[in-house]
Structure 1
């Protein structure tokens, strides 16, 4: 991955997070964080 692609990806990610905070008050980020923790618990169970 080149630096230009990495910077573009980081900028896109920041814009999406900002849009979620502006329009959705962070609900999508909270949902994804909870699902990620559920995934970690599921992986821990099968370990």
Structure 2
């Protein structure tokens, strides 16, 4: 991954997070955080 590509991807992620916070009051981020916690609990079960 080149530096230019990393900067573009980082900017896109920040833009989408900002859009989610301002337009949808971070509902999508909260949903993803809950699903990520479920995934880590599920993965810990199989460890």
TM-score > 0.5 by shorter chain? yes
Which bin holds the TM-score, normalised by the shorter protein?
Answer: over 0.9
How well do the aligned residues superpose, as a CA RMSD in angstroms? 0.3
Equivalenced residue count is 47
Displaced runs of 4 or more, over 3 A: none
Gap regions ≥5 residues in structure 1: none
Gap regions ≥5 residues in structure 2: none
Q: How does the TM-score come out when normalised to structure 1?
A: 0.98
